[in-house]
Structure 1
Amino acid sequence: MSELQVVIFDLKGQLFGAETSQVFQIIKYSVPEKMPKIPKFIEGIISYRDTVLPVINLAKRFEMGETAVTKKTKILVTRIDDKYAGFIVSDVTEIARFAEEDVSVTPPVMNRETEAYMKKVGRKGDKLISIVDLHRILTEAEIKKLSV
């Protein structure tokens, strides 16, 4: 029996998850430097490990509106191909293991854009957690634009 290990995070009161294999690091929020002519869901860039890290606002990307920055706000760092990217989340609540029988494929009610990255749903008690594929949240064209 296989298990799925997931970083569970809060985004405006809704729980989401990402496979731990896709989360390179969880860091404290720091205010990104704004950049001109970038998509509205990209907040800007921060310095990260001697490189520049583009920071994506997941709430805006998921069309959930603005998200307030608090002491609990974190950035999930992932590596997409040879580039790093950071995703702003309201809070990281836990790292959990899901048994195979507690994970199912996302029902086909998503639009074409969201079904690219909303692949699975995990059940934890009476809660459903959408497990997102961090590597597919951005399109290939958007990833190329991250070369800052």
Structure 2
Amino acid sequence: MAEELKVIVFTLANEEYGIEVDKVRYIERMLPITRVPKTPSFVKGVINLRGVVVPVIDLRGRFGLAETEPTESSRIIIVAANDMEIGFIVDSANDVSDVMSDSIEVPPEVVGGVKAKYLSGVAKLDENRLLILLNLTEVLNRSEIIQLEQFGSES
């Protein structure tokens, strides 16, 4: 029996991506971001969210896509990964979709310019619509998480 998976759908460079709803804490409009020295270029800095310092990364930069200036529809999706909260800058966050587990396939080597290691699968939503599901553990690889955790504990 196929399970139903609820995912938050967001866009990056005109491709649709999904993150499981239970991993998402908040979806925020763009907030002032404080730059942090000596971090990879896709780490944009930190935000103060309800009194908590949250590191923010630009998913376009993380995936090697062309980075763009935030727009009115840009959002920061705050996810919980490995006992910490991290913000992802995305082009827009659209809606919540139900994905049947049997519609998810192993991702090809590269989808929309993004390497397969960052993806947990590709779901067929209908005839013309694919949803790329993120693998959060790879998007934030262990050494980067340690770097971000050290930053978070210094503040």
Q: Contact (CA 8 Å) 2:124, 2:130: kept in 1 or not?
A: yes
Amino acid at match of 1:139: N
2:35 partner SS: coil
**Distance (whole Å) between structure 2 residues aligned to residue 71 and residue 64 of structure 1:** 20
Q: Contact (CA 8 Å) 1:12, 1:67: kept in 2 or not?
A: no
**Distance (whole Å) between structure 2 residues aligned to residue 34 and residue 100 of structure 1:** 39
**Distance (whole Å) between structure 1 residues aligned to residue 131 and residue 84 of structure 2:** 27
Q: Which residue of 2 aligns with 1:16?
A: 17
**Distance (whole Å) between structure 2 residues aligned to residue 74 and residue 17 of structure 1:** 14
CA distance 1:135–1:29, change in 2 (3 Å): farther
Structure 2's unaligned 5+ residue stretches are none
Deviation at 1:32, TM superposition (A): 0.8
1:76 aligned onto 2:77: yes
Deviation at 1:15, TM superposition (A): 1.0
Q: Contact (CA 8 Å) 2:3, 2:102: kept in 1 or not?
A: no
Residues 32-43 of structure 1 mapped to structure 2, 5 A cutoff = 32-43=33-44
Q: Which residue of 2 aligns with 1:104?
A: 105
User: Cα deviation per residue 1:85-105 (whole Å; 9 max; x = unaligned)?
Assistant: 100001011100012332212
Structure 1's unaligned 5+ residue stretches are none
Give the CA RMSD over aligned residues.
1.6
Q: Contact (CA 8 Å) 1:19, 1:133: kept in 2 or not?
A: no
1:52 partner SS: strand
Q: Which residue of 1 aligns with 2:132?
A: 130
User: Cα deviation per residue 1:14-33 (whole Å; 9 max; x = unaligned)?
Assistant: 11111111111111111311
1:118 aligned onto 2:119: yes
Aligned residues: 145
Q: Contact (CA 8 Å) 1:22, 1:135: kept in 2 or not?
A: no
Amino acid at match of 1:122: A
**Distance (whole Å) between structure 1 residues aligned to residue 15 and residue 69 of structure 2:** 14
Q: Which residue of 2 aligns with 1:65?
A: 66
CA distance 1:134–1:67, change in 2 (3 Å): farther
2:146 partner SS: helix
CA distance 1:12–1:115, change in 2 (3 Å): closer
Amino acid at match of 1:142: E
Amino acid at match of 1:94: D
Deviation at 1:82, TM superposition (A): 2.4
**Distance (whole Å) between structure 1 residues aligned to residue 31 and residue 125 of structure 2:** 31
Deviation at 1:43, TM superposition (A): 0.4
